[in-house]
Amino acid sequence: MKRTILVTGGNRGIGLAIARQLAELGNAVLLGSRDLMAGENAAKSLRSLNFDVEPVHVDLNDAAAIDDAITGIGKSGRQIDTLVNNAGVLHEKPLLELTDAEIGDSIAAHLTGPLRLIRLLAPNMIARGYGRIVNLSSGWGSFAEGMGGPGMYGVTKAALNALTVRLAKELPSAVKVNAMCPGWVRTRMGGDGAMRSPEEAADTAVWLATLPDDGPTGGFFRDRKPIEW
Task: Name the residue among 55, 174, 66 with its Cα closest to residue 124.
Answer: 174
Please give the helix or strand (H or E) that residue 83 lies within, else none: strand 82-85
Please spell the DSSP secondary structure of 10-45, one letter per residue: TTSHHHHHHHHHHHHTT-EEEEEESSHHHHHHHHHH
C-alpha to C-alpha distance for 16 and 33, rounded to whole angstroms: 10
Q: Which listed residue (153, 176, 204, 206) is catalytic?
A: 153
C-alpha to C-alpha distance for 210 and 118, rounded to whole angstroms: 17
User: Is 153 noted as a catalytic residue in this protein?
Assistant: yes
- 125 Cβ neighbours under 8 A, 6+ residues apart: 80, 81, 131, 174, 175
- Name residue 175's amino acid: V
Q: Which residues are annotated as catalytic?
A: 153
